[in-house]
Structure 1
Amino acid sequence: MEYAPAILLSALAMTLIVGGRYLLSSGFFAWLTNRVRPGQYDRLRPQMKREIRWSLLSAAIYGIPAGIVAWGWQNAGWTKIYTDPGLYPFWYLPLSLFLYLFLHDTWFYWTHRLLHRPRWFKAAHAVHHDSRPPTAWAAMSFHPLEAISGAVVIPALVIAIPIHVGVLGLVLLVMTVMGVSNHMGWEMFPRWLVQGRLGMWLITATHHEKHHELYRGNYGLYFRFWDRICGTDIGLADAGGSFGSAVGRKRIGQ
């Protein structure tokens, strides 16, 4: 127990970092939305306040395991985070990035599907879907039960799978940008990407917004892989031709 105060301070520090990251990233994309789509969020101010409250609670939940792992990395060798780029072959850097994103996406897809079962939806996931439509502030707007399911993924991966600290930072950056941009209500990526071959496998706002509209399908976080092989992918044809109308400056579904 002699390490308990230090671990507690680490958890507190990570909570502040996660909360600050949320406020900065969601705040930036909310500002960008107001620039690109003036007035889009005007009628959603009470909803956004609720999203921020839930998200800051989620930040505290995410910060606890992150803080424990951060302390363990620096003081006890609990993790497989490394700083020497020569420790593994160069090709392992992009491989570890993809591996982390794919495993995170896999966990998210299956837990997300579980959360859409009636009992779990009512108990937890309804909080996230109370955002109608979601805004840039909704990316971490989770019930504590859902936040716990998401908070354990990256800490578990860094204990099990080697990753360079810089690549881990990139994983967190991708997680933040994709999580926020997929909820802000308009498509920031170009049409050639969203509707091209790459877009057949990547999730953007166009894809995820359909999940929030229909409450089914499109359960993935980064990739459409599991949706496609499990038959839960809602694509252009399935959406009656409106899927992709978010590309450019239009709101999804208009």
Structure 2
Amino acid sequence: MEIVQFIFSTWWITFLGGFLFFTFLYFGGAFLGLLLKKKFKLAAISPYRNYSQQVKKEIKISLLSVTVFALEGIPVQWAYTQGYIHISEQASIWALCLQVSILFLWNELHFYLSHYLLHHRWFFKKVHYLHHQSTTPTEFSTYSFHWFEAVLLGSVIYLPMLLYPFHYLALLLLPVMSILLNVLGHWNHDLAAGKSSQHWLGFCHRHSLHHQKVRGNYGFFLQIFDKLFNTNLKNERA
């Protein structure tokens, strides 16, 4: 718990720690994706239609998103020092697994609702269009979005922390899970090649299809919300 207290001791330590953490996640996730593609020689989902200097621009925009994520840690630091939120340091393995599962499900719902909002005509034109410039996404597309979108997606942690004292490992695992799924959803390679897009690993194809078709498939790993609100794309393969 001394580490938690140190990270939240001052706003600038919280900001610096967040910036380094998310920078590591971003580049670590991207390079891990590149290594996996090279090692397993996975099939591409669609032909590459990258625009000029796409990866360079994605990295530049993503570093701005990383900065926004780090800034969003400052309100958490303030709430922690004022006693409005609490972070647990003790939990059984089962309690930790339950907390991670709850945060994962909340992240899926939060992403779906945020993503659906971002596809409203005004938000898409002013904000979300930037992410969709990557018609064929890459491993470096994961954080490549408008600063407002970064604020919206980064706010996922606020409500859970206000409602319950989650263990610090569960809180750390949330962005780790998120970046891994985002890399796999944007790397344009299929983990379920030859299988239906409804396969549990079909999220890679479903999100790539979303980048091509723009409308529909607003969820990420889970299909439940797209099915519930009838926003899933029916196409099996692009």
CA distance in 1, matches of 2:140, 2:85: 31
CA distance in 2, matches of 1:43, 1:203: 22
Normalised TM-score (structure 1): 0.78
CA distance in 2, matches of 1:7, 1:188: 41
Aligned residue for 1:60, secondary structure, equals helix
Distance 1:51 1:190, change over 3 A: same
Query: Is the Cα–Cα contact under 8 Å of residues 69 and 78 in structure 1 kept in the other structure?
Result: no
CA distance in 2, matches of 1:44, 1:37: 22
Aligned to 1:57: 64
Aligned to 2:31: 27
Q: Which amino acid aligns with 1:49?
A: K
Q: What is the root-mean-square deviation in Å for CA atoms of aligned residues?
A: 2.9
CA distance in 2, matches of 1:211, 1:168: 28
Aligned to 1:245: none
Distance 1:91 1:31, change over 3 A: closer
Q: Which amino acid aligns with 1:183?
A: H
Which one of 179, 183, 197 corresponds to residue 182 of structure 2?
179
Return the offset for 1:195. 5.0
Distance 1:136 1:231, change over 3 A: same
Q: Which moved more, 1:13-22 or 1:55-64?
A: 13-22
Unaligned runs of 5+ in 1: 243-252
Aligned to 1:107: 110
Aligned residue for 2:144, secondary structure, equals coil
Query: Is the Cα–Cα contact under 8 Å of residues 99 and 166 in structure 2 kept in the other structure?
Result: yes
Query: Is the Cα–Cα contact under 8 Å of residues 25 and 176 in structure 2 kept in the other structure?
Result: no
Aligned residue for 1:152, secondary structure, equals helix
Residue deviations 1:54-84 (CA, integer Å, cap 9, x gap): 10000000011225425754x5544332111
Mapping for residues 161-200 of structure 1, pairs under 5 Å = 161-188=164-191, 195-196=198-199, 199=200
Q: Which amino acid aligns with 2:205?
A: T
Aligned to 1:223: 222
Residue deviations 1:62-111 (CA, integer Å, cap 9, x gap): 011225425754x554433211115xxx6433332222122222121112
Aligned to 2:90: 84
Normalised TM-score (structure 2): 0.83
Query: Is the Cα–Cα contact under 8 Å of residues 128 and 149 in structure 2 kept in the other structure?
Result: yes
Query: Is the Cα–Cα contact under 8 Å of residues 10 and 77 in structure 2 kept in the other structure?
Result: no
Q: Which moved more, 1:219-228 or 1:29-38?
A: 29-38
Q: Which amino acid aligns with 1:150?
A: L
CA distance in 1, matches of 2:126, 2:218: 18
Aligned to 1:17: 21
CA distance in 1, matches of 2:27, 2:140: 8
Residue deviations 1:133-158 (CA, integer Å, cap 9, x gap): 00000011010111110111113322
Query: Is the Cα–Cα contact under 8 Å of residues 72 and 151 in structure 2 kept in the other structure?
Result: no
Aligned residue for 1:14, secondary structure, equals helix
Return the offset for 1:193. 9.6
Q: Which amino acid aligns with 2:89?
A: T
Mapping for residues 195-206 of structure 1, pairs under 5 Å = 195-196=198-199, 199=200, 204-206=203-205
How many residues align structurally? Answer: 228
